[in-house]
Structure 1
Amino acid sequence: MSFLADRVVAGTTSAPTVRAAGAIGLRLETQLVSGAEWDQTIASFDEVCQEQMHAFASIRWPGVAQEPLVFLRDDEVVGGALVMVQSLPLRLGKIAVTKWAPMLKDAAHRDAAAIRAGMVEAMVAEYADRRRLMLSILPRASITEVNQEYGHLIARGFRRGSVLGFPNRYIVNLRLSDAEQRKSFSQTWRRQLNKAEKAGLSFEYAGAERVGDFETLYNAMTDRKQFSDHSAYETVPALMQIEVPALRPELFFVRHDGELVAGALIFKAGGRAVYLYGATNDKALPLRAGYFLHWHIIRWLRDHTQAQWYDLGGTDGFQGLHQFKKGMVGDAGVIRPVPPVANYASGRLAYAAGAGAFWARDSVHALQRKVDGWRNPLTRPTQQKDDAEPAP
């Protein structure tokens, strides 16, 4: 039996101490936990993110087996990874996939690199060596210029896999004073914010019970713009009802003359807040409501969370969105790419099956984007796109 099966019967297992890519992978105890326990556990992690939540993943990928793994050192939780085991077409086998993981509970721990290496080794031992699956890990964009997580995986023997079409992520520094933050914005962004502040707009923090107001804005926006929505918006109702307050997205609105003109849903747990979804009506753009909205979200996150950074997501190739987010990142933030997927398998057949499945998926997605462009020419990346569309 695998260690996951062993956990149900006996409780725990340990990975050996290893040396990998300059870091000694610590011996860690590995436990499989329930989805509910997993979400409770990771709420306090520095590196927690939406894609690693069971409440999100179980809806976003309903046909995939979710395996939430908690790693412990001396009986203390130090990290974790939600691994998704997916069957391949034609019964060719299975692959194990984890996105934005493994996650550290304490990213500033002096043994952080060794803990991360130990988590990777435990996953390799289980999924690649024991189960003979291809293991695919996608690290998130790093704040530093060099993505050390991805570098460790490649040094460990993982191979470069799929690459996002538009990998850059736009990340705002939250730990600045108002004066420092405004100075960091580009001159154009700051000028547009000044105009928005003279337009009679007001900012609102809203509770989860007002998600219906956001849905009204969002549905009206998608109908107006007629773009194909491939986001995970279907997960929003469940996320707004999650019993773990730290993991529940926050909802914000901008109002003009008593009318809601813009709104946003923000993931705020851990060290990196994330812009999930935005919505506007047709009055928002001339009012520059997006500038006003994000300015106040930045200030709210700084004052009410522990997050150091605010991840605005990508652009999906839209030049207008690039200019908007680049101006907001300014001098104090960073623009960094999501690295390629890193794939590892202990056997050639497992690797060939997994890599083939990724190639087929990427081909389908590329074709889908072309079809969307033909059907909806207004959503092609060559067109301007306003500042409040769903974060890719």
Structure 2
Amino acid sequence: MTYRLRPISRAEHLAFVAARPSVSHMQVPSWADVKPDWRAESLGWFDEGGQLAGAGLVLLRPLPKLRRYLAYLPEGPVIDWDSADLAQWLRPMLAYLKGRGAFSVKMGPPVVVRRWSAEAVKEAIADPAARRLRDVTATEQEPRAVGVADRLRHMGWQQSEPGGEDGFTAGQPRYVFEVPLAGRTLEEVRGDFSQQWRRNIKKAEKAGVKVVQGGYEDLRDFHRLYVETAERDRFVPRPLAYFERMWTALTSEHPDRMRLYLAHHEGEVLAAATMLTVGEHVWYSYGASTGRRREVQPNNAIQWRMMCDAHERGAAVYDLRGITDILDEGDHLLGLLRFKAGTGGRAVEYLGEWDFPLNRLLHKALGLYLSRR
């Protein structure tokens, strides 16, 4: 099979996404509007019959003072990753992006490598000999991932480093935590929660915590808590304008693409979170909470409400996004891993991000610049 690649319209791209059960929220046309510092194009792969067989949102970041670009396909492209001849898919993309002035291409194949059950994660945390999740025997292996990685290396793709000191990659997270929902009742989902999680949900209900859906006008309350969370958890917060832009872009494409939830208690918003949906995949995207009145457990309450709503919408998976793979008690992100493992879901390792240097000198220069940041 020979594929022809060309730019496609947003309507073509969106129709392609809508016909699939799961596509990353960073591979929908509206994500381009969330990233105004990048130029963006929707690309389509057409088979010999002229049918659209694959699609990808590519973001182009210009180098200062040069008309050269870093091309980035976060958690994409959406192609047949099981193909025995990945070159038929990727060579046309590289040729097209080189012609557009790209000096390097980065992509994130949506290919699962391994999974660890919640129990396996908890045992690993409790084992003083276990230092990183990647070194712990997985509950499930995906044999096809090895073949995909081998084919990419054979083509000249280079795997990005699996993570920094905090266990996260410089781009999108390689390790995530998810709760399977397909074919399960809410009672079964809740039954897999840890005792602490079930107890905390009951505490929140008894204390009168009310979780409601908010709108654009409530983003300020969310952001106020988000800034407080950033100070507490030691990360740099995004500005309010980013979330306002995200809301406008995503809900304009689909009215239910993004939701905002707020946990109220005695007239005060104690926690807030954003939820994104594409097809049967639901993501907990950003979360925020105050340090006050934590005893009423607003974070557990808000997550449970979001899972219930995801289940009601027919979601196959509730994705809690990135986790650290560092199992050191001194790591400040280990508490977040414990919190997510309490849902009884599973840790998932993806193939990670891969680079193809089209201009090795500029690609190396970019790598040095990013390492010094």
TM normalised by structure 2 equals: 0.74
Query: Which residue of the partner structure matches residue 389 of structure 1?
Result: none
Structure 2 SS opposite 1:102: coil
Distance 1:174 1:240 in 2: 26
Whether the 8 Å contact between 1:34 and 1:68 is mirrored in structure 2 is yes
Query: Which residue of the partner structure matches residue 113 of structure 1?
Result: 82
Whether the 8 Å contact between 1:67 and 1:84 is mirrored in structure 2 is yes
Distance 2:20 2:337 in 1: 30
Pairwise CA distance, 1:249: 0.4
Structure 2 SS opposite 1:357: helix
Query: Which residue of the partner structure matches residue 212 of structure 1?
Result: 217
1:269-304 deviation line (CA, Å, top 9, x unaligned): 133211112233444522111111111211210111
Distance 2:295 2:8 in 1: 50
Query: Which residue of the partner structure matches residue 324 of structure 1?
Result: 339
TM normalised by structure 1 equals: 0.70
- Structure 1: stretches of 5+ with no match in the other structure: 1-16, 18-26, 105-110, 365-392
- Structure of higher RCO (CA pairs closer than 8 Å, 6+ residues apart): 2
Query: Which residue of the partner structure matches residue 5 of structure 2?
Result: 30
Matched letter for residue 308 of structure 1? A
Gap change, CA 1:359 and 1:85, over 3 Å in 2: same
Gap change, CA 1:35 and 1:278, over 3 Å in 2: same
Aligned-pair identity (%): 20
Whether the 8 Å contact between 1:261 and 1:283 is mirrored in structure 2 is yes
Distance 1:261 1:72 in 2: 49
Structure 2 SS opposite 1:66: strand
2:329 matches 1:359: no
Query: Which residue of the partner structure matches residue 55 of structure 2?
Result: 80
Distance 2:199 2:271 in 1: 20
- The Cα RMSD (Å) is 3.2
Gap change, CA 1:150 and 1:214, over 3 Å in 2: farther
- Structure 2: stretches of 5+ with no match in the other structure: 115-140, 169-174, 325-331
Matched letter for residue 105 of structure 2? L
Whether the 8 Å contact between 1:137 and 1:341 is mirrored in structure 2 is yes
Pairwise CA distance, 1:321: 1.1
Pairwise CA distance, 1:121: 3.2
Whether the 8 Å contact between 2:67 and 2:101 is mirrored in structure 1 is no
Structure 2 matches for 1:10-25, cutoff 5 A?
17=1
Gap change, CA 1:327 and 1:143, over 3 Å in 2: farther
Out of 182, 188, 198, which is 1:190 matched to?
198
Whether the 8 Å contact between 1:93 and 1:353 is mirrored in structure 2 is no
Matched letter for residue 301 of structure 1? A
2:40 matches 1:66: yes
Query: Which residue of the partner structure matches residue 94 of structure 2?
Result: 124
Distance 1:344 1:225 in 2: 33
Query: Which residue of the partner structure matches residue 311 of structure 1?
Result: 319
Distance 1:48 1:341 in 2: 16
